[in-house]
Amino acid sequence: MGQATVVTSDPAPVVRVSGLWKHYQKQPAVRGIDIEIPPGEIYGLIGPDGAGKSTLMKIIAGVLTHDRGRVEVFGQTVDSERSAERIKGLLGFMPQGLGLNLYPELSIEENIDFFARLRLVPDEELGRRKERLLGVTRLEGFRDRPMKQLSGGMKQKLGLVCTLIHVPRLVILDEPTTGVDPVSRRDFWTILAEFLSEHDMTALVSTAYMDEASRFTELSLFSEGRIIAEGAPEELFDLAPGTMLSLEADDQLGALSRLRRDFEQVEAQASQIRVFLPDTDRERAVRQVQSSLIDFDVVNLWTSEPDLEDVLVALLRRERGDHEPQVEWQPTSADSHSHDLAVRAEGLVRMFGDFRAVDGVSFDIQQGEIFGLLGANGAGKTTVIKMLTGLLKPTAGHGDVAGVDMRRAGREIRERIGYMSQAFSLYLDLTVIENIRLYGGIYGLPRRRVDERIDWIVAMAGLAGYEDRRTSGLPVGVRQRLALGCALVHQPRVLFLDEPTSGVDVMGRRYFWRILLHLARSEGVAILVTTHYMSEAEHCDELALMHAGQIVASGPPASMKEDVENEAGRPLVVVTDDAAEALTALARAGFEGASVYGRSVRLLSRVPERDGKLIEETLGQAGVRMRSVEVQPLSMEDLFVYHVGRLERQAIASGGAR
CATH at 273: 3.30.70
Main-chain dihedrals φ then ψ at residue 615, nearest 5 degrees: -65, -45
- Establish if 119 belongs to a structural domain: yes
Find, among 100, 103, 89, the residue nearest to 54 by Cα: 100
Q: Which residue has the higher pLDDT, 495 or 644?
A: 495
DSSP string spanning 595-627?
EEETTEEEEEESSHHHHHHHHHHHHHHTT--EE
pLDDT at 297 over 80: yes
Residue 459 and residue 568 in one domain: no
What is residue 336's predicted lDDT score, i.e. its pLDDT?
A: 43
What is residue 76's predicted lDDT score, i.e. its pLDDT?
A: 93
- Establish if 547 belongs to a structural domain: yes
Average pLDDT, integer, range 334-346: 71
Average pLDDT, integer, range 310-332: 69
Q: Which domain holds residue 249?
A: 243-305
Sign of CA dihedral 561, 562, 567, 571: positive
Main-chain dihedrals φ then ψ at residue 252, nearest 5 degrees: -65, -45
pLDDT at 327 over 70: no
Find, among 591, 604, 600, 589, the residue nearest to 637 by Cα: 604
The answer to whether 527 touches 484, Cβ cutoff 8 Å, is no
The answer to whether 401 touches 389, Cβ cutoff 8 Å, is yes
Q: Which residue has the higher pLDDT, 198 or 432?
A: 432
pLDDT at 322 over 60: no
CA R_g for the chain: 26
* pLDDT confidence tier of residue 494, bands split at 50, 70 and 90: very high
Q: Which residue has the higher pLDDT, 98 or 76?
A: 76
- Establish if 232 belongs to a structural domain: yes
What is residue 333's predicted lDDT score, i.e. its pLDDT?
A: 44
3-state secondary structure of 198: helix
- Which of 38-47, 76-85, 506-515 shows the lowest mean pLDDT across its residues? 506-515
Q: What is the pLDDT of residues 122-175, one digit of tens each?
A: 998 999 999 988 887 888 889 999 998 887 778 888 998 999 999 999 999 998
Average pLDDT, integer, range 559-575: 93
- Establish if 324 belongs to a structural domain: no
Main-chain dihedrals φ then ψ at residue 460, nearest 5 degrees: -60, -45
Sign of CA dihedral 578, 580, 585, 591: positive
Residue 290 and residue 167 in one domain: no
* pLDDT confidence tier of residue 36, bands split at 50, 70 and 90: very high
What is residue 278's predicted lDDT score, i.e. its pLDDT?
A: 92
* Domain end marker among 528, 556, 584: 556
Residue 521 and residue 622 in one domain: no
Q: Which of 219-223, 361-365, 511-515 has the highest mean pLDDT?
A: 361-365
Task: In the chain, count H helices and then E strands.
Answer: 21, 28
- Count of domains forming the chain: 4
C-beta neighbour count of 581 within 10 angstroms: 17
- Establish if 26 belongs to a structural domain: yes
* Domain end marker among 539, 556, 573: 556
| Chain centroid to CA 532 | 6
C-beta neighbour count of 10 within 10 angstroms: 7
Residue 49 and residue 114 in one domain: yes
* pLDDT confidence tier of residue 462, bands split at 50, 70 and 90: confident
pLDDT at 244 over 60: yes
What span, in angstroms and rounded, lies between the C-alpha atoms of 397 and 395?
7
- Establish if 320 belongs to a structural domain: no
What is residue 478's predicted lDDT score, i.e. its pLDDT?
A: 86
Main-chain dihedrals φ then ψ at residue 562, nearest 5 degrees: -60, -40
What span, in angstroms and rounded, lies between the C-alpha atoms of 639 and 401?
29
Residue 171 and residue 274 in one domain: no
pLDDT at 432 over 50: yes
Residue 232 and residue 146 in one domain: yes
pLDDT at 339 over 80: no
Average pLDDT, integer, range 558-572: 93
Residue 31 and residue 147 in one domain: yes
Q: In what order do the strands lie in the sheet with 265-269?
A: 265-269, 272-277, 243-249, 298-304
What is residue 323's predicted lDDT score, i.e. its pLDDT?
A: 53
Residue 380 and residue 450 in one domain: yes
Name residue 413's amino acid: I
Main-chain dihedrals φ then ψ at residue 405, nearest 5 degrees: -70, 120
pLDDT at 209 over 80: no
What is residue 299's predicted lDDT score, i.e. its pLDDT?
A: 85
Cα angle at 516 between 419 and 51, to 5 degrees?
95
Residue 288 and residue 386 in one domain: no
What span, in angstroms and rounded, lies between the C-alpha atoms of 360 and 345?
9
3-state secondary structure of 7: coil
**Under the phi-then-psi rule, with left for phi > 0, alpha for psi from -120 to 50, and beta for the rest, what region is 179?**
left
What is residue 477's predicted lDDT score, i.e. its pLDDT?
A: 79
What is residue 507's predicted lDDT score, i.e. its pLDDT?
A: 81
Sign of CA dihedral 78, 82, 87, 93: positive
Residue 478 and residue 627 in one domain: no
> What percentage of the chain exceeds 70 in pLDDT?
93
What span, in angstroms and rounded, lies between the C-alpha atoms of 401 and 399?
7
> What percentage of the chain exceeds 90 in pLDDT?
55
- pTM for this model (two decimals): 0.84
Run of H or E residues at 310: helix 308-320
Find, among 181, 185, 47, the residue nearest to 505 by Cα: 47
What is residue 54's predicted lDDT score, i.e. its pLDDT?
A: 92
Residue 261 and residue 169 in one domain: no
Residue 376 and residue 472 in one domain: yes
Find, among 562, 557, 527, 558, the residue nearest to 545 by Cα: 557
* Domain end marker among 198, 217, 236: 236
Chain mean pLDDT for the chain = 87
Q: What is the pLDDT of residues 51-61, one digit of tens each?
A: 899 999 999 99
* pLDDT confidence tier of residue 324, bands split at 50, 70 and 90: low
- Establish if 323 belongs to a structural domain: no
